[in-house]
Structure 1
Amino acid sequence: MTRTRNRAPENAHVYLIGSGIAALASAVLLIRDAGVPGGNIHILEKDRIAGGALDGSGDVETGFVARGGRMHERHYACYWDLLSGIPSLENPDVSVAEETFEFNERLISNGQARLLKGGKRLDVSSYGLSLAQQGRLLKLVYESEVSLGDRKIEDWFDGAFFETNFWFIWSTMFAFQRWSSLAEMRRYMRRFIHMVEGLPRLGGVLRTKYEQYHSVVVPLQRWLENKGVDVQFGKEVVDLDFETSGGEKRATVLHLADGGSITLGANNYVFATLGSITESSDNGAWDRVPVLKGVEDSGSWKLWETIAAKDTGFGNPSPFCGHVDGSKWYSFTATLKDPVFHDYMEEFSGNLSGTGGLVTLTDSNWLMSFVIARQPHFPNQPRDVKIFWGYGLYPDRKGNFVDKTMAECTGKEILDELWGHLKIQDLMKPFVDEGKVNCVPVAMPFVDALFMARKIGDRPDVLPEGAANFAFLGQFVEAPHDCVFTVEYSVRTAQMAVYGLFETGKEVIPVYDSIHNPRYLIDAARAISR
């Protein structure tokens, strides 16, 4: 059936479930492109802060925390289109997009210590792939996604592939596991083929001035609130009612955790973010181990499970949230009241902070990586305080220097493991003993859920068949050809939802088509054959 787009936006009311980047982008597009009055847009967020996975908080005494960080690149067309009209955090005359581009013109990524082993830099001039492995990689790029089904990466490559420089660089940059979806790896190869040549030095990677909460979320929220958008925190939606008539499906009622409900009228809409990679996260401390939680502690996953049971067109959350042992990893943020570690790493790596990017310890049982961002990384971070962030892909393995799994470690023990790999225990001990170092570990059960092996249909369409007044948003809905675990993907789903339900005269911006550019293909082929 043909979907009728709304031509009376001035009377429409839209309810957005969740306040991650997909929902915030939807609100901006509803105002900017669809003409919905800001006061008619209602964001319902179960937590007390907006932003979803784009977070960043803390202070010197309790420790700064960023559960993760989002890398960007110039061809995030939907994302930069959104942020080109949003004033930056500190200068209303400069957009977030302009600020970010200017920031990266000054601090160009050129990592000189991408992989380490035995505390020494590895030569990454070659990806270390055999001819057979190169052939499998190229064959994957041109395989059809449908034919791959729910196969895993380890089903495609031989065991030696997972000891190559290519795999260490690829897996830690994007957080792929051996058991991750082969179809997702194919999408990444096709979507980012123009970056394959520069990956060993993180060429082409862009970063925001601060962590994404302050650089992106706060400016978006400020813009929306200035437009009169109704943002309600502590409002959890636990169920949605739908009715079908003549092939048309309509959302009719939103049920809230507090027992209340919202009935949707004739010109009312609901956009629901499905799933979350940071849901059920738990912060530990310098002397406290974080607790690994699960679906039972979540809101977004339980909501998706509830509505998915009502219609096969609403997707299947089980492949994503039903395998915590495969989707979890642990991150940590260190706060240091002394520059000694940062000074050491600048001299060791040859990179000023903010230009080096991710450093991976290839001989770490946890496959630990860390990154030193440009300082300050938080707007309230004093000049004499430094921070860095890291994570481990294999938290159930015992450390090389600490006789515990990463999952069993406090913040102090995680840094003890890192000092051991870098061979700087003696350098750091005085500062640790003086209380000048803090570290907050975070357990994240679903952070790799979006890479779990899945079949066509497990991710629902943004606009399921017959959807008349509702849309699904975020990392767990289907945006053909684009790649999950990117801010671009979330903003693209927002465009698909708004432009699909409202008459805007605009089309969703196409995915950057680098896979059909001969120059990029030649560069990539040359790079993997070195």
Structure 2
Amino acid sequence: MHIIDHTTQRANFKAYMLGGGIGSLAAAAFMIRDAQVLGANITILEALPLMGGSLDGAGDAERGYSLRGGRMLTTDNYECTWDLFKTIPSLEHDGQTVFDETVAFNEKYKAHSMARLVNRLRAKMPVESMGFTMHDRAELLALSNASEEALGTSTITDWLSPAFFETEFWYMWATTFAFQPWHSAVEFKRYLHRFMLEFSRIETLGGVKRTVYNQYDSFVRPLQAWLQAQGVNFVAGCKVTDLEHTEQDGKFVVTAIQCQRAGAQERIVVNAGDLVFFQNGSMTDASSLGSMHSAPPALTKQDSGGWTLWEKLAQGRPEFGNPAAFNSSIAESMWESFTITLKDTVFFDKMKAFSGNEPGTGGLVTFKDSNWFMSIVLAHQPHFANQGADVQVFWGYALFPDRIGNFVAKPMSECTGEEILRELCGHLRFDLDAVAKANCIPCRMPYITSMFMPRAHSDRPLPVPKNSKNLAFVSQFVEIADDVVFTVEYSVRAAQMAVYELLNVDRAVPAIIPHDKSIKTQFEALVKAFK
């Protein structure tokens, strides 16, 4: 356990976190742990009723559970995430940290998918071969070796031919990481390098690690509990609308925070020496839930202010990035997920018999020929801390929700939970009796892969822009060399970098482990590419 020396803590310093996602929570923890900031001097302002941002998990057995998504984890990477959670106590295991309990859980339940791809005949496809031709290999090598300057704002389809997107590799890589063909070639290249270890085991998902429960219960709740014990102030239902600022010696300085709370406008003075950490942009902005009998409302940018403040700050300040690169095309950044709550074991029993995997060991099952490009995953149960023994929960998503289904003659985005269940059972050839007691809650997310949109290097601000004195950006929309967005690690690394820089912490941010430089890893990837 990390002991905090309160005698050396900074007393006359305040920090304000704008947004209650994992980036802000992590920044608060690093300030307390590594910069000796008093927890009582840190305030987290969140517009929603709960902290956690995109790492959410809500509901109960009666109303149905809901997860917008789940992020892939690995203990071979995620250097900053585990550096943090090695010092956050578990809520359920005395004397253990969150890292300890996660490692123990993954030792007990090892990932080895036996039904990674399923075809239109409900047959499990052989996936030992990646399905590459020599042309595919040459193109993939050229993309992975190209500099980010050469890749520029190009898309994946600018570098890879149409046939590539019919390979077994693409079906598995795209659904594991949620890539679309029109996404950024730079981001795709970064993933190839950052997760080169996973290339050789992509068909079994052997490198994927899981938290004990969903990531809200396993990451957010223990982290928030620790921060509360340190005296951190949490203010929910508070929407930040503007930052008053001035310039000092050519640097941007926040002087006050304007926010709305309980229908009233408030103003928080930011004194000299205080710091502001801003979560710019959100992958789950304007997301909406449906039900068994209704499709999720089609919300747009006009329905949410999640981008507004970043747009205000970036206007005329190129060092603060370019939000328009990410939020201008919902059609290219939207997909839909669904969470299914079951009151009997029929569906899980049928899936175990079909896949050969116990829940929590199989990872994604992707229906390769699904018009919606749909996948599901059955986690170890219980998946929620408050889930009863007679309840089972699983999650799924589809990358093409705008297309007509194979079994339901509607786009997924217009489907109710009941219709999504019918489409799923059609692909599995299950009778609807398997989901007779199911509650399916669909979730539409218009900006869920907005981080993957083609962008220039300058479109993302640094965690601490060079022209900023007391404002840091902590989110999926900052620039961190060599690391990959759409991961918990990216937000945590941005938070650690920002805290250490602004507070001159004499401790190095954990380096990205260069697995892609390992001769063994390169050789295994090469062998896999030629299978």
Q: TM-score range by the shorter chain?
A: over 0.9
Distance (whole Å) between structure 1 residues aligned to residue 529 and residue 27 of structure 2: 39
Quick check: 288-297 or 476-485, which moved more? 288-297
Distance (whole Å) between structure 2 residues aligned to residue 92 and residue 393 of structure 1: 41
- Which aligned pairs between 1:311-322 and structure 2 lie closer than 5 A? 311-322=317-328
Matched to 1:108, the amino acid is K
1:273/1:300 contact within 8 Å kept? no
1:502 alignment counterpart:
503
TM-score by length of 1: 0.96
1:453 alignment counterpart:
454
Sequence identity percentage: 46
Matched to 2:109, the amino acid is L
**Cα deviation 1:192-215 (Å, max 9, x = unaligned):** 111110111101100000001110
1:70 alignment counterpart:
71
2:9/2:38 contact within 8 Å kept? no
1:174 alignment counterpart:
177
Quick check: 298-307 or 13-22, which moved more? 298-307
Distance (whole Å) between structure 2 residues aligned to residue 190 and residue 503 of structure 1: 30
1:386 alignment counterpart:
392
- Which aligned pairs between 1:127-526 and structure 2 lie closer than 5 A? 127-257=130-260, 258-425=264-431, 427-428=433-434, 432=436, 436-526=437-527
Distance (whole Å) between structure 2 residues aligned to residue 92 and residue 27 of structure 1: 23
2:107 alignment counterpart:
105
**Cα deviation 1:333-376 (Å, max 9, x = unaligned):** 01111101111111111111100010000110000000000011
The alpha-carbon deviation at position 427 of structure 1 amounts to: 4.7
2:291/2:416 contact within 8 Å kept? yes
1:70/1:207 contact within 8 Å kept? no
Structure 2: 5+ residue stretches without partners: 1-7
2:117 alignment counterpart:
115
Distance (whole Å) between structure 2 residues aligned to residue 248 and residue 360 of structure 1: 50
The alpha-carbon deviation at position 97 of structure 1 amounts to: 0.5
2:3 alignment counterpart:
none
Distance (whole Å) between structure 2 residues aligned to residue 247 and residue 523 of structure 1: 51
Question: 3-state SS of the aligned residue for 1:526?
Answer: helix
**Cα deviation 1:444-470 (Å, max 9, x = unaligned):** 111010101111110111111132111
Question: 3-state SS of the aligned residue for 1:121?
Answer: coil
TM-score by length of 2: 0.96
The alpha-carbon deviation at position 221 of structure 1 amounts to: 0.6
2:319/2:467 contact within 8 Å kept? no
Quick check: 243-252 or 40-49, which moved more? 243-252
Matched to 2:492, the amino acid is V
**Cα deviation 1:216-264 (Å, max 9, x = unaligned):** 1000110001100011011111111332232322112211134221221
Distance (whole Å) between structure 2 residues aligned to residue 334 and residue 82 of structure 1: 32
Q: Hey, which bits of structure 1, 4+ residues long, moved more than 4 A?
A: none
Quick check: 296-305 or 119-128, which moved more? 296-305
Distance (whole Å) between structure 1 residues aligned to residue 9 and residue 276 of structure 2: 16
1:43 alignment counterpart:
44
Matched to 2:403, the amino acid is R
Matched to 2:412, the amino acid is M
Residue among 77, 91, 95 paired with 1:89: 91
Distance (whole Å) between structure 2 residues aligned to residue 9 and residue 511 of structure 1: 30
**Cα deviation 1:4-32 (Å, max 9, x = unaligned):** xxx98331100000011100000000000
The alpha-carbon deviation at position 493 of structure 1 amounts to: 0.2
Quick check: 293-302 or 117-126, which moved more? 293-302
Instruction: Tell me if 1:20 matches 2:21.
Output: yes
Distance (whole Å) between structure 1 residues aligned to residue 367 and residue 527 of structure 2: 26
The alpha-carbon deviation at position 426 of structure 1 amounts to: 5.2
Question: 3-state SS of the aligned residue for 1:11?
Answer: coil
RMSD: 1.2
Matched to 1:512, the amino acid is I
